Chain A
Amino acid sequence: MMTGASRAARTAVRTRWGAGLGCLLAGGALLLSSPSCARADSTLGPLLKPLGLHEYPSRVVPPSLNGGTVDHQQLATRDLLGKVILVNFWASWCRDCRPEMPVLERLHRELGRQGFTVIGINAREARDVVHRYARELGLTFPLLLDPDGKLNTLYGVVGLPTTFILGRDGRAVGLAVGPREWDSPSARALLQALLAEPVPRPSAP
């Protein structure tokens, strides 16, 4: 059964890629500046608005997500290309962050095969604090440590939780300051619309 939200999502995808084809062929520089690209992106608006997300009209490139995770893995932006990413900034002391975590874990597990991933970025806490929190809540998505707050500063985060949605092209789509209902039909419609986008070809080395 197709809900109203999923119909809107599919329409949005068709409109975006139909209108945006010229932008993609025109090259990276024009992708950022061409007015037709901005119009194509604006069709995401109806999917972002119900969630109260700030929209990036020209889909800017966010800072790199390179760093070490709580379980001693290295995460690099290049490994994430082609995925829809939800980047969630959080801390163990943040009361509004906690209810989001099981929801994000569920989405990460459920949509992972379709190319979706959640990345948690902790704010200035020690590895053992993050490890304990992750174990308590059963979190399996990558949790980046940011003990000196560099990533938090690069992303301009001044309040928690703060969440960014990135499309398969690695560019920023939406920003949420404060908690959101990430399991709501609106959120799922947005994620499905982004997951329906083509996976970009890797650039030549």
Chain B
Amino acid sequence: MQILAVSANSTFSQTTFAESLKLPYPLLSDFPERKTIRAYGILNERSMTAIRTFFLIDPQGVIRRKWVIENPGGTVVYSDVVLKGIEEVIGKP
């Protein structure tokens, strides 16, 4: 299992963010092109930022689950929801 995080922020901004939260997984910068974010269909054209979304991709590279967070300020994403999705796709560890 590999977690990758993608945002429309610069690598400079992401470095600060990762250091602040001591994140144990890589942050990928899609700035300034926003190619990946657009390709995944989650670019907010007004703010030019990514709509907060989780994608679960299987070992064959197929997107198996997607969670779109419509109200990122007010929505808490519980890990058990995502873990349940992972278990349904690749089975329990």
Contact = CB atoms under 8 A, between A and B. Distances in A.
Are A and B a genuine interacting pair, yes or no? yes
Interface of A: 54, 56, 60-63, 153-159, 162, 172, 175, 177
A157 B13 CA distance: 7
Contact of B9 (A56, A61, A156): A156
Interface in B1-49: 9-17, 19-21
Contact of B15 (A56, A61, A154, A159): A56
A175 B20 CA distance: 10
Nearest to A56: B15
B15 A54 contact: yes
B21 A158 contact: yes
A146 to B, nearest CB: 14
Nearest to B22: A177
Interface of B: 9-17, 19-21
B17 A158 contact: yes
22 contacts: A54-B15, A54-B19, A56-B15, A60-B11, A63-B10, A63-B12, A153-B9, A154-B10, A154-B13, A155-B12, A155-B16, A156-B13, A157-B16, A157-B20, A158-B21, A159-B20, A162-B16, A162-B20, A175-B16, A175-B19, A177-B16, A177-B19
A157 B21 CA distance: 11
A153 B19 contact: no
A63 B10 CA distance: 9
A156 B15 contact: yes
Shortest Cβ-Cβ A-B pairs, 4 listed? A156-B16, A156-B13, A156-B17, A177-B20
Contacts of A158: 16-17, 20-21
A157 B14 CA distance: 9
B72 to A, nearest CB: 14
A54 B19 CA distance: 8
A15 B11 CA distance: 28
A154 to B, nearest CB: 6
